[in-house]
Amino acid sequence: MKNTCLCDSTSKLIQFTNCSLLRDGKIIREDLWVRDGKIVDPEKVFFDEKVSSDGRIDCKGALISPGFIELQINGGFGVDFSFNTKEVEKGIQIVAHGLLAHGVTAFCPTIVTSPRDVYHSILPVLKKMPGSKDGAAVLGIHLEGPFINPAKKGAHPENLICSLQEGMKTLLDMYGSLSDVSIVTVAPEIDKALDVIEELVESGITVSLGHSMANLQQGEEAVKKGATLITHLFNAMLPFHHRDPGLVGLLASDVVPAKGTIYYGIISDGVHTHPSALRIAHRTNPEGLVLVTDAISALGLEEGTHQLGQASIEIRNSRAYIAGTDTLCGSIANMIECVQFFHKASGCSVEKALEAATLHPAKVLGIENIKGTLNYGADADFILLGEDFDLWSTWISGQHVYQAEGKPQVRIIKVPEDIKPVM
């Protein structure tokens, strides 16, 4: 990776020109202005401060989109968040850095169903952190289990799945701390789940419904308690049935408040979700669709056999299998591939495809004023794209943190004396 960072320019007013922007659901031909890591309203600069830009950057016709936000990722680049407990900080840095090459500027590391001591060793160390030249921002932990239905365990170890015997007390005893937790996945039909959902929501944590046998009514009761997200729609839940559509039915439920939205993660990798299912979900509830990769530790590794934890995994034809078999063992798609596949399968606009990986996940966490948008005052976390979502470069807080090999590099048209590009 070649880094062309304007590393000393954080207090300078930088104008990105010769570009298009995704803003307010539209692609517009307009310059992007950045200062102090934030997106700036140029009118206020012109009329109130009466100054011009300190530096101009030629974007060579690129489309500037907010950086991708990943709400469900189990690891990558050889790191498993639920397994590499002794090197948590090192592992998170490896993944945060690797994700820059996929246009991801913020993510929620996901811990799957694990023993109590794993939570107690990982959660105190796995902290929220801002994005930087070293990697994408950590927006908080996504705890996917162990309070799920064993009948829909997926790849989760059944012997570690737990009930909520004493409600919130059981949950807190299992996790130890919720201080840096942003999302908790729960099966709403298990005993005391509704009370726990209500308490989690009151504490500011997003509750997602998943790995569940819940019928529609049980899902609706959870929504009434404040649940707003569904974990990887269609996967690890009851299939849609016309007399009881299960959690899938929440996409069109009349229980959802008029101004509310049920968001749903969906794995758009061409393996976990059929294109027709993608189209059905998108046409039913386009504003709630959130692209997730649900990627495992094999993400970003080369084709061949790899020993990851206790498992031997073989990557061939861009898919991960248990070594020596044809059994799929998880997703290794990156977010760019998911956006591309979703755009093609759904027939949606470029704007909608990008918002499913930017604005919508930001809304899930209630941070849409600062992340997932290019509106004035938001963090200057963005990506430069060519045709067909081809990633050129990644920027965090207005700093150039990743340059794709062989892709157009931005050209500095005007640079103040105290701003020097670092190669």
CATH number for the domain that contains residue 216: 3.20.20.140
| 20: enclosing H helix or E strand | strand 20-23
Residue 422 is assigned to a structural domain of this protein: no
Express as a percent the part of the chain with pLDDT over 70.
93
Name the amino acid, one letter, at 351.
E
Domain shared by 193 and 333, yes or no:
yes
Residue 419 is assigned to a structural domain of this protein: no
Q: Which residues contact 375 (CB under 8 A, 6 or more apart)?
A: 23, 24, 39, 369
Secondary structure letter of residue 154 according to DSSP: T
Domain shared by 403 and 306, yes or no:
no
pLDDT at 11 over 80: no
Residue 9 is assigned to a structural domain of this protein: no
Alpha-carbon torsion 351, 353, 358, 360, what sign? positive
Domain shared by 93 and 172, yes or no:
yes
Residue 294 known to be catalytic: yes
- The pLDDT value recorded for residue 380 is 98
Q: Which of 2-11, 214-223, 255-264, 307-316 has the lowest mean pLDDT?
A: 2-11
Residue 4 is assigned to a structural domain of this protein: no
Say which of 36, 54, 195, 294 is annotated catalytic.
Answer: 294
Domain shared by 117 and 49, yes or no:
no
Of 176, 174, 158, give the one whose Cα is nearest residue 166: 174
Q: How confident is the prediction for the chain on average, in pLDDT? A: 91
Residue 6 is assigned to a structural domain of this protein: no
- pTM for the model: 0.93
Q: Which of 36-50, 139-153, 206-220, 340-354 has the lowest mean pLDDT?
A: 36-50
Mean pLDDT of the 24-31 span: 96
Domain shared by 265 and 395, yes or no:
no
Express as a percent the part of the chain with pLDDT over 90.
76
Binding-site entries: 144, 155, 211, 232, 235-236, 243, 272, 328-330
Task: State the pLDDT confidence band at 423, using cuts at 50, 70 and 90.
Answer: very low
Residue 152 is assigned to a structural domain of this protein: yes
Task: State the pLDDT confidence band at 115, using cuts at 50, 70 and 90.
Answer: very high
Buried b (16+ CB within 10 A) or exposed e, 184-196: bbbbbbbebbbeb
- The pLDDT value recorded for residue 305 is 86
Domain shared by 251 and 297, yes or no:
yes
Mean pLDDT of the 163-178 span: 97
Domain shared by 257 and 382, yes or no:
no
| More confident call, 274 vs 260 | 274
Domain shared by 144 and 27, yes or no:
no
How far is the C-alpha of 281 from the C-alpha of 275, rounded, in Å? 10
pLDDT at 218 over 50: yes
- The pLDDT value recorded for residue 28 is 97
Residue 115 is assigned to a structural domain of this protein: yes
Q: Which of 51-55, 205-209, 241-245, 332-336 has the lowest mean pLDDT?
A: 51-55
Mean pLDDT of the 189-213 span: 98
Q: Which of 27-41, 132-146, 292-306 has the lowest mean pLDDT?
A: 292-306
Mean pLDDT of the 258-265 span: 86
CATH number for the domain that contains residue 402: 2.30.40.10
Binding-site entries for substrate: 155, 235-236, 243, 272, 328-330
Task: State the pLDDT confidence band at 10, using cuts at 50, 70 and 90.
Answer: low
Using the 3D structure, point to which of 364, 386, 402 is the last residue of a domain.
364
Mean pLDDT of the 248-254 span: 94
pLDDT at 422 over 50: no
Which residue(s) pair with 50 in the sheet?
A: none
Mean pLDDT of the 313-333 span: 82
How many domains would you assign to the chain? Answer: 2
| More confident call, 332 vs 355 | 355
Alpha-carbon torsion 147, 152, 155, 161, what sign? positive
Mean pLDDT of the 346-368 span: 98
| 342: enclosing H helix or E strand | helix 335-346
pLDDT at 151 over 80: yes
Binding-site entries for Zn(2+): 144, 211, 232
Q: Which residues contact 387 (CB under 8 A, 6 or more apart)?
A: none
pLDDT at 331 over 50: yes
Range of the domain at 401: 14-65+373-414
